[in-house]
Amino acid sequence: MRNVFPSVHDSILSSIYQSLPNLMDYSNKLCTQIQDLPRSGIRDFFELVIGRSDVISLGVGEPDKSTPWPIREAVIRSLEKGQTSYTSNLGLEPLRVLISEYVEKQFRVTYDPKTEILVTVGVSEALDLAFRAVLNPGDEVIYHEPCYVSYSPSIKMAYGVPVVVNTREENQFALMAEDVEKAITPKTKVIALNFPTNPTGGIMPAEELEKIAALAVKHDLFVFTDEIYCELLYDGRQHKSIVEFPGMRERTVLLHGFSKAFAMTGWRLGYACAPAPLREAMMKVHQYCMLCAPIMSQIAGIEALKMGASAYEEMRQSYEMRRNIIVSRLNGMGLHCFNPGGAFYVFPEIRSTGLTSKEFAIGLLEKKSVAVVPGTAFGAAGEGFVRCCYATAPELIVKAMDLMEEFVNEVRG
C-alpha cells in the first residue's frame, strides 16, 4: 500500500524544489494575441479598493439585493431532490419555453425554443459565442464606447477587428446612426449594441434605432443586441429593441440574461435568441467549451421567469428613486450629470474639477473613502467622466454624495 504520509526525505526534496528559481520565460510561451489584450481598468481600480472595509462603494455593477427568495428556495428544493446532472447543451427545455414566452412579451418577437434559443453562462458567454460563430479573421465589428469592458477584448479573441464609435453626452449617450454609417466599411460584419448602457445609463430613441436597423439591412450586417438592462427603464418608458424593426429578426442575435433584473449576477445565466443556422453555429462552440449552463442556475432561471415582473418591479421602482436622489445631488454640487433613462448607473462629468477621471476616482477614494469607477475603464471616450452605481442603499448614496461634495469643494479650493 502506498504511504500517504510524506517522509522526511520527501519534504526536504519538496522544499528544495520550491526554493529553485523559476527558469521558464513565459513571455515567449503565452499566446501573443492574449498578451496583447490590455488589462481591464476595472481590475486596476479593484486592487486599490479591495481589503479596505471603510469604503462606501458606488463602484459595483450589480443589484444591492440578493436573488429573490422564491428563486433561491426553488434551487434549494432542487438540490434536495438531487437535480445535479448535466442538461441538454441547449439548456433545459422548460427554461427555453419560458424564455421564448418572456422574449415574445418583452420584445414582441417569437423564437422557437427548439431551434432558436440557447441557454448560456451569462450574456458574456453568449456574446463570445456569437462573435466566434460569425467572425473570420479581419472582419470588423462596430461597437460603441463608453461600454461594458468585454466588448473589444471579446471581438479580438474571436480574431475580429473592433471598430469603436463613441457615444456623446450631448446626445445623452445614445448611438447616432450617422456616426455608425461613417464607420461602415466593406469589412464590417456586425454592429454590437447595448442599451440601456453600462456605464452611462444611456438609452436609444426609437427613431435612431430605426435608422441603424436600416443601415444593417442596407449593408447586410448582423446586429448583436445585448439587452441585459432592458427591464430597468424609468419615467414610464417602454423598451424597444432593434430586433423589432422590419428585416431585423433574421440578422439579429438577441442576448439577454438574468443578472440585472432578477439580481442573479453570481448564477451566471444568460441566453441567446437567433435564427436557427446562427444558433446552431453558436451551439457548436458552446457544446465544446462549456457543455451546458449549470443546472442549478437553469432551475433558478425557470423560477425567475415564472415570477416575471413581480421579481423586479419593486427593485426597479426603488432604483428610479435612488437615481433621482443621485442625479439631483451631483448636479447640485456642480458636476454636470444627465438624467439616465435606464440601467442603474449615472455618468457625471468631472472635467470642471480640473482632474482626469482616474485622478478624480483615486483622490475621492484616498481622501473620502468613496469608490467610483473612472470613465476610462469603459473606453477612452469615458475620459472626463466617472461611473457611479446607485444600486446601493439610499442612506449610503446620500452619505457618499456628502463626501463627494466635500471632495469637489476641496479640489476647487
Partner 1 sequence: MDPLIQLLAINSNRSTAELAGILSLTEDEVRRRIAAAEADGTILGYNAVVDRQKAGHRGVTALVEVKITPEKEGGFDRLARRIAKFDQVRECFLMSGGYDLAILVEGKDLLDVANFIAEKLSTLGGVLSTATHFQLKAYKQAGFLVNANADEERLPISP
Rule CB under 8 A: say whether 150 interacts with partner 1. Answer: yes
Rule CB under 8 A: say whether 62 interacts with partner 1. Answer: yes
Bond preceding residue 199 cis, omega within 30 of 0: yes
| Residue span binding partner 1 (CB under 8 A) among the ranges 14-22, 55-63, 201-209, 283-291 | 55-63
Q: Which residue has the cell 453568449?
A: 126
Query: Which of 2, 25, 50, 220 is close enough to bind partner 1 by CB under 8 A?
Result: 50
Rule CB under 8 A: say whether 33 interacts with partner 1. Answer: no
Give the end-to-end CA distance of the chain in Å, rounded to a whole number. 76
Rule CB under 8 A: say whether 61 interacts with partner 1. Answer: yes
Cell of 374: 473612472
Task: Please report, as residue ranges, which positions from 244 to 273 form the binding site for partner 1 (by CB under 8 A).
Answer: 265
**Which residues make Cβ contacts (< 8 Å) with residue 312, sequence separation at least 6?**
231, 232, 261, 262, 263
Pairing of strands 386-389, 345-346: antiparallel
Cell of 404: 463627494
Nearer to partner 1, 235 or 250 (CB): 235
Nearer to partner 1, 377 or 408 (CB): 377
Q: Is the dihedral of CA 95, 96, 98, 102 positive or negative?
A: positive
* DSSP structure string for 80-127: HTT--S---TT--HHHHHHHHHHHHHHHS----TTTSEEEESHHHHHH
Q: How many CA atoms lie within 13 A of 166 on its CB side?
A: 10
CA distances from 176 to 147, 183, 210 (A): 15, 11, 11
Residue 143 CA to residue 95 CA, distance in Å, equals 30
Rule CB under 8 A: say whether 325 interacts with partner 1. Answer: yes
Nearer to partner 1, 266 or 277 (CB): 266
Give me the torsion for CA of 340, 346, 349, 355, rounded to 10°: -170
Query: Which of 14, 66, 84, 409 is close enough to bind partner 1 by CB under 8 A?
Result: 66
Nearer to partner 1, 113 or 379 (CB): 379
| Residue span binding partner 1 (CB under 8 A) among the ranges 127-135, 244-252, 305-313, 320-328 | 320-328
Task: Please report, as residue ranges, which positions from 358 to 397 form the binding site for partner 1 (by CB under 8 A).
Answer: 371, 373, 377, 394
Please compute Rg for the chain using Cα positions. 23
Residue 20 CA to residue 302 CA, distance in Å, equals 53
Nearer to partner 1, 21 or 51 (CB): 51
**Binding track over 198-217 against partner 1, x by CB under 8 A:** x-------------------
Rule CB under 8 A: say whether 148 interacts with partner 1. Answer: yes
Asked whether 408 and 334 are in contact (CB, 8 A), the reply is yes
Query: Which of 329, 341, 344, 368 is close enough to bind partner 1 by CB under 8 A?
Result: 329
In angstroms, what is the minimal distance from the CB of 232 to partner 1?
17
Nearer to partner 1, 63 or 91 (CB): 63
C-alpha of 160 from chain center: 20
Asked whether 233 and 342 are in contact (CB, 8 A), the reply is yes
Asked whether 183 and 163 are in contact (CB, 8 A), the reply is yes
In angstroms, what is the minimal distance from the CB of 149 to partner 1?
5
In angstroms, what is the minimal distance from the CB of 85 to partner 1?
26
Nearer to partner 1, 193 or 377 (CB): 377
Nearer to partner 1, 64 or 101 (CB): 64
| Residue span binding partner 1 (CB under 8 A) among the ranges 41-49, 177-185, 295-303, 347-355 | 41-49
In angstroms, what is the minimal distance from the CB of 51 to partner 1?
9
- If one counts every other C-beta atom within 10 angstroms of the C-beta of residue 241, the result is 23
C-alpha of 101 from chain center: 23
Nearer to partner 1, 64 or 359 (CB): 64
C-alpha of 372 from chain center: 17
Query: Which of 49, 233, 285, 411 is close enough to bind partner 1 by CB under 8 A?
Result: 49
Binding site for partner 1 (CB under 8 A): 40, 42, 45-46, 49-50, 52, 55, 57, 59-62, 64-66, 148-150, 198, 265, 321-322, 324-325, 328-329, 371, 373, 377, 394, 398
